[in-house]
Amino acid sequence: MSDPVSINYIVAPGGALKGRFRLPGDKSISHRALMLGAIAEGQTRINGFLEGEDTLATLSAFRAMGVEITQRNQQDVVVNGVGLHGLTAPSGPLDLGNSGTSVRLLAGLLSGQSFNSELIGDASLMRRPMRRVTQPLQMMNADITCTQQGTLPIKIRGGRKLHGIDYALPVVSAQLKSCLLLAGLYAEGKTCIHEPAQTRDHTERMLEQFGYVLNKRSNSICITGGGKLRATEITVPGDISSAAFFIVGACISEGSEITLEQVGINPTRDAVIHILKSMGADIMVNNPRIQSGEPVGDIRVRSSQLHGIEIPLDLVPAAIDEFPAIMIAAASAKNRTVLKGAAELRVKESDRIMAITEGLKAIGINAKAHADGMEVEGGRIRGGVVDSFNDHRIAMAFAMAGLAAKDLITIKDCTNVNTSFPGFVDLADQAGLGIRQGDAGAR
């Protein structure tokens, strides 16, 4: 196979964002709809599915385990559920590409199967921590291993009888919580999970949409194995993590006004709105409603002068994927923004504390990395060359910085934007960002 071609973004300085837009479907919800649809009884329809590389990796994995999944068009998917015990052995390792959510949730689901399986991914995913899932799954009697370094490949031997556990999560992670809930579906007795801080609750909400009863109490959740999932219809909202780039872009560019329609505003995901508002952003959420068990709204943003803040610790989990975008807002705000309690950013698709601070320095902004966060001194964004470290969210965040920049910004290695936001360049261009793609040659 030839090396994939690496794409650079070249972003012209200035401009403003205007218009009404729909964003691609929520990535977290799309993964879960496929997974629960696959092990439900009956036919599940997913509308507004995110056709990104990450969710397509999940889709391929289930096809490889015998699930018939048809795409009526890019966003409408039909999953013919095989029931909790209907998956079949894949013919080889399941390659989940860049997708941490696929691999960690599947580790839980596959621990309860009768067949063996192996999970692998791309260079970034092969470096990310997996012991957080293998350890508690072993406590549930799964036969699951990762490497000595705690990384992929994960190898699972099937045919084990799982039992429920009572487990306090040592890391704040929705992927870990969801992994254990999925294993809990296959376990004898009750699996109870206690979170140190609340993380996104899409798995819990979606299990309920599929008719599965859970017990929830503040930051604890229990699931009893042995039930059934009933197929349903899921309409996926726009992804607030994708919206974040446009929200920040509109905040920092004079004369902007945009409305992002039908975006997920689940309170475990919407801290980006609260953080930007406390920095002085002009954001309104209109027409709030519930769709397939998830809160949804239309987000209107107008430009405004932002000021730096100390980000409240309790908002960090609900904004964990949005810090690349938020730090671009901080770069063009008055004064300093301080982020603490976000060490998890070190183990995302890239080390985001390093990637954000290096990128900001490359465009003339004073930024300092700390073990669990960073400080950013707002100022005048210059032009420069930014390395995205193959991280989709770093690439899109720095593209938006162009709106407040004095000179051209070039962002290297943006191919992975396709993992979460296919069509980003076209949509950003349509909204008013002066962005074009350049082919930087083979990686």
Residue 417: DSSP 8-state: G
The amino acid present at 243, given as its one-letter code, is: A
Q: Which of 8, 16, 28, 378: binder of ligand S3P (CB under 6 A)?
A: 28
Q: Of the candidates 278, 283, 248, which has an alpha carbon nearest to the alpha carbon of residue 401?
A: 248
Question: What burial class does residue 227 get, using C-beta atoms within 10 Å of its C-beta: 0-12 exposed, 13-18 middle, 19+ buried?
Answer: middle
**CB of 99 vs ligand S3P, minimal distance in Å:** 9
The reply on whether position 96 binds ligand S3P by CB under 6 A is no
Is the Cβ of residue 173 or residue 303 nearer to ligand S3P in the bound state? 173
Residue 412 within binding range of ligand S3P, rule CB under 6 A: no
Q: Which of 82, 27, 25, 92 is nearest to 58 (CA)?
A: 27
Instruction: Give CA separation, 150 vs 69, 131, 302, 346, 395, in Å.
Output: 32, 5, 45, 15, 28
Q: Is position 175 an interface residue for ligand S3P (rule: CB under 6 A)?
A: yes
Question: Binding to ligand S3P by residue 30, rule CB under 6 A?
Answer: no
Nearer to ligand S3P, 304 or 390 (CB): 390
Determine the interface stretch with ligand S3P among 173-181, 353-361, 363-371, 384-392 (rule: CB under 6 A).
173-181
Contacting residue, 122, 270, 321, 322, with ligand S3P by CB under 6 A: 321
Site string for ligand S3P, 200-239 (x = CB under 6 A): x---------------------------------------
d(CA 160, CA 142): 6
| Among residues 30, 55, 101, 111, the one that binds ligand S3P under rule CB under 6 A | 101
**Annotated catalytic sites, by residue?**
321
In whole angstroms, give the CA distance from residue 348 to residue 354: 11
Q: How many residues bind ligand S3P (CB under 6 A)?
A: 10
Q: Do 233 and 45 form a contact (C-beta atoms < 8 A)?
A: yes
Does 124 contact ligand S3P by CB under 6 A? no
Cα–Cα distance measured from residue 131 to residue 152, given in angstroms and rounded to the nearest whole number: 9
Q: Shortest gap between Cβ of 101 and ligand S3P (angstroms)?
A: 4
Interface with ligand S3P by CB under 6 A: which residues?
28, 101, 173-175, 178, 200, 320-321, 344
